[in-house]
């Protein structure tokens, strides 16, 4: 390759970086979710500075943050592409948009669980302050609680997909919000071993279920199914893993 060819290629490389930067700027300016993800990522990275993460833990954290941002950018690109191809409502176009949004949701859930596993550690507990409940929670491996929430959401979505012709987060059998609320209440009881604490946690979970019914989003049987799924899965996983 001659010196002239090298000089000729340099503007192309610079222009490529310029196009990439414009794409990032466009996503930040036009997509609210992208701005939320970026702000959250900055806050998480600042918090990580106080927790003495190892190089491997920090690398994992950066990777999951990048995964969320990349899926959000690809989601924006796919929506623009679909809108460019057709302005009419088309079932396949809707499926493409739903798949793109689903990838962002899944990446976000994985990022939250990864952050939980990295941040729930001795330094975090010291920042929160010591209490009986926190000390009891600290005795349990953090990956167990993360596995509970992931499985509760995953199984609830799987059941909803099988039961409903047009599944959606809002409405349908079972109530995912209620399942997660009762799973958290069950974990609080297991960690605290206090009936009084469990009653308070159960009351909060029941308020979530009541809110779903009052809003007309779920029926009584749908929230009961969610409560049973959340409670049963939590008890089973803690029984097997702890």
* CATH number, domain with residue 112: 1.10.287.3610
Q: Is position 224 within any domain? A: yes
Number of independent structural domains in the chain: 2
Co-location of 28 and 135 in the same domain: no
Kindly state the DSSP code that residue 169 receives in the 8-state scheme: S
pTM summary value: 0.55
Helix, strand, coil fractions of the chain, as percent rounded to 5: 85, 0, 15
Q: Is position 197 within any domain? A: yes
Q: Which of 129, 161, 181 is the last residue of a domain?
A: 129
Kindly state the DSSP code that residue 51 receives in the 8-state scheme: T
User: Does 115 score more than 60 pLDDT?
Assistant: yes
User: Does 135 score more than 80 pLDDT?
Assistant: no
Co-location of 75 and 136 in the same domain: no
User: If you average pLDDT over residues 146-150, what whole number do you get?
Assistant: 77
Active-site residue among 72, 88, 170, 222?
Answer: 72
Provide the domain limits for residue 37: 9-129
**Cα→Cα distances 125→27, 188, 191, 202, Å:** 36, 16, 15, 24
143: nearest Cα among 241, 226, 34: 241
Co-location of 54 and 161 in the same domain: no
Q: Is position 179 within any domain? A: yes
Residue carrying structure tokens 């950066």? 62
Q: Which of 80, 101, 129 is the last residue of a domain?
A: 129
Q: Is position 119 within any domain? A: yes
Co-location of 58 and 147 in the same domain: no
Q: Is position 2 within any domain? A: no
Q: Is position 14 within any domain? A: yes
Give the chain's mean pLDDT. Answer: 76
Highest mean pLDDT among 5-9, 26-30, 49-53, 63-67: 63-67
**Is 72 considered catalytic here?**
yes
Co-location of 237 and 171 in the same domain: yes
pLDDT class for 59, splitting at 50, 70, 90? confident
Our CA angle for 10, 77, 168, nearest 5°, is 155
Sign of CA dihedral 32, 34, 39, 43: positive
């Amino acid at each position: 390759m001659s010196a002239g060819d090298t000089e000729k290629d340099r503007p192309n490389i610079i222009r490529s970086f310029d196009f990439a930067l414009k794409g990032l700027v466009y996503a930040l300016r036009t997509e609210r979710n992208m701005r939320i993800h970026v702000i959250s990522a900055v806050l998480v990275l600042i918090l990580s500075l106080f927790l003495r993460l190892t190089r491997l833990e920090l690398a994992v954290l950066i990777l999951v943050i990048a995964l969320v941002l990349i899926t959000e950018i690809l989601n924006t690109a796919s929506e623009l592409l679909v809108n460019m191809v057709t302005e009419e409502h088309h079932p396949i176009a809707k499926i493409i948009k739903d798949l793109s949004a689903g990838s962002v949701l899944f990446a976000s859930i994985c990022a939250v669980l990864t952050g939980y596993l990295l941040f729930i550690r001795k330094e975090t507990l010291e920042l929160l302050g010591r209490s009986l409940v926190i000390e009891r929670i600290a005795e349990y491996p953090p990956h167990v609680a993360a596995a509970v929430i992931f499985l509760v959401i995953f199984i609830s979505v799987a059941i909803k997909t099988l039961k409903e012709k047009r599944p959606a987060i809002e409405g349908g059998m079972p109530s995912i919000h209620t399942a997660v609320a009762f799973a958290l209440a069950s974990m609080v009881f297991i960690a605290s071993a206090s009936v009084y604490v469990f009653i308070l946690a159960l009351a909060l979970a029941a308020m979530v279920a009541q809110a779903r019914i009052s809003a007309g989003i779920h029926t009584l049987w749908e929230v009961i199914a969610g409560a049973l799924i959340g409670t049963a899965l939590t008890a089973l996983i803690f029984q097997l893993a702890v």
